[in-house]
Structure 1
């Protein structure tokens, strides 16, 4: 895929300008893609004055406010030369209606602002953003803070040693998706592998012998070789390959700050049991990594990015 053909923006329900809106408009302008803007708002409030009397005036004001916003956005975005549609969907189940919208429109990318939720709430209630990461059939671009409307630097975070990712081809999907984004933004693409050696010892195997040190070095070399093979297969130049020891989310966060990366491309893998309860690295990165996240799953983007040429993720 050389260019995005259709983008879906889930606009802020407050109808205020937002980072995701800026990003979606910039990407649509750069790629020539059609832009569908949708707001999933709460239904118009029915205010009871007394007994069975309803404040019809307040109800109509609410509807007029949204209709006026739709008209203003159509005028502004069409004035930029974009092929655009704008709609408000009143719903009490935004997750279901967003997924239905994705099925109907079949966008190449869903773009949405990150909704920051308190940690305690996230423990008991899965936020909408996490549901979309797990269930959306197309790549999801969750936009937090942005330095530039159009990304200037993209970093793809891969794990060529993860059995689930290797079996599904997820790393290749991440790379193709990151490459497509970088090409359309005319931005350099960096490849990052945050490798962690501690699971090999189950947390309780002291390295006190020469054998232990040799084993660690052998494991590290195997990981590095897998990373180099992946990078070379996708044509990532050596100066943009980063092999860093440490836990994925802290390493990614530090890398983003050091290299001023605008977008981190990560993969999502369906998990069960305790892993699903704790959340994936991608979900944890959503709330701790500065900048923005592009999440892709193997099935979500294999047909959209299968022919994308370029650099690796």
Structure 2
């Protein structure tokens, strides 16, 4: 079973309601863990104070860092929760995602928690550039938090791709379900599995008139159901908690989450970077734009972050 023993909570100073901190304290009450409340700050004007010596600029930066650390400590105190295992850290860096990932690597954190933003009109989640970088490059699981409660008798949805010949993807499937079960225990909720399977390619039906699209679709669905059933059996998950749905993952997963009224979706992300990420994108990134609940994103076991400590 997975364990989150060291949690890094990323604070957004522009927020009034610090959802990630509240969620971390809520989780620690059910699963005790060490929490580091983390803030990255940077002010370019301090780098441009050419009239000051490097030593004087460093003193100014340290004064700002100390002021923000006091603010963080007060923020933690104001929660009124048990904060005996909470520490705070403030760093000066012009790329927040790099400072976060370096802190994760150096501190060997098991989880990063960060709030997300909701667009009031579209009712979808708007992710900042820092969120995207964390999803692609952070070696630890990333929990992106929305502004809602974790009620009892809720549901956790673990999204897998049960039909795969890739050993790394198979391991990721088990990680996804493992973490899903762990989080469902914390939430005292029910774990569900969802697996999308591709629709019948329409060009085949057009080019080969005798091609039986109905039979093809039935065979495809059966194959995915059997594969998902094997995964579910390994975790003692009942059949009525498994869902095999035709369509693309970026459509199926949000639809299933909405149908089940899930509080959390657990998904794997391959961590593409560079041109590959820009052109191809990432299933996780397509999915999360349409989710209205928390998201826990995991990397494959063999993932190595391009950011170094």
CA distance in 2: counterparts of 1:158 and 1:59, whole angstroms: 46
Q: Mean Cα displacement is larger for which, 3-12 or 72-81?
A: 72-81
CA distance in 1: counterparts of 2:217 and 2:105, whole angstroms: 47
1:16 maps to what in 2? 16
CA distance in 2: counterparts of 1:60 and 1:44, whole angstroms: 14
1:66 maps to what in 2? 68
Within the alignment, does 1:281 sit opposite 2:283 as a pair? yes
* 1:185 aligned residue (177, 184, 187): 187
Matched residue SS, 1:159? coil
Q: Mean Cα displacement is larger for which, 23-32 or 143-152?
A: 143-152
- Compared CA separation, residues 6 and 150, structure 1 to 2 (3 A): farther
- Note if contact 2:9-2:20 (Cα within 8 Å) is conserved in structure 1: yes
- Note if contact 1:108-1:138 (Cα within 8 Å) is conserved in structure 2: yes
Deviation at 1:70, TM superposition (A): 2.3
* 2:129 aligned residue (127, 130, 148): 127
- Note if contact 2:156-2:265 (Cα within 8 Å) is conserved in structure 1: yes
Within the alignment, does 1:298 sit opposite 2:300 as a pair? yes
Within the alignment, does 1:147 sit opposite 2:149 as a pair? yes
2:240 maps to what in 1? 239
- Compared CA separation, residues 45 and 165, structure 1 to 2 (3 A): farther
CA distance in 2: counterparts of 1:250 and 1:18, whole angstroms: 30
Deviation at 1:67, TM superposition (A): 3.6
- Compared CA separation, residues 209 and 152, structure 1 to 2 (3 A): same
Q: How many residues align?
A: 287
Deviation at 1:52, TM superposition (A): 5.3
CA distance in 2: counterparts of 1:231 and 1:252, whole angstroms: 17
Q: Map Cα deviations across residues 70-106 of structure 1 (whole Å, 9 max, x no partner).
A: 2313434685244010122121022221111001221
Deviation at 1:114, TM superposition (A): 2.3
Q: Map Cα deviations across residues 1-55 of structure 1 (whole Å, 9 max, x no partner).
A: 3643111111113263322222111112210111111011223744999x959xx
CA distance in 1: counterparts of 2:302 and 2:41, whole angstroms: 26
Deviation at 1:230, TM superposition (A): 1.2
Q: TM-score when scaled to structure 2?
A: 0.80
- Note if contact 1:20-1:143 (Cα within 8 Å) is conserved in structure 2: yes
CA distance in 1: counterparts of 2:163 and 2:173, whole angstroms: 10
CA distance in 1: counterparts of 2:82 and 2:302, whole angstroms: 30
RMSD: 3.4
Unaligned residue ranges in structure 1 (runs of 5+): 118-125, 302-313
Matched residue SS, 2:262? coil
Deviation at 1:218, TM superposition (A): 1.7
Within the alignment, does 1:36 sit opposite 2:36 as a pair? yes
Matched residue SS, 2:289? helix
Within the alignment, does 1:137 sit opposite 2:139 as a pair? yes
Deviation at 1:247, TM superposition (A): 1.8
Matched residue SS, 1:87? strand
1:309 maps to what in 2? none
CA distance in 2: counterparts of 1:139 and 1:52, whole angstroms: 44
Matched residue SS, 1:141? strand
CA distance in 2: counterparts of 1:48 and 1:221, whole angstroms: 64
CA distance in 1: counterparts of 2:139 and 2:277, whole angstroms: 18
2:268 maps to what in 1? 267
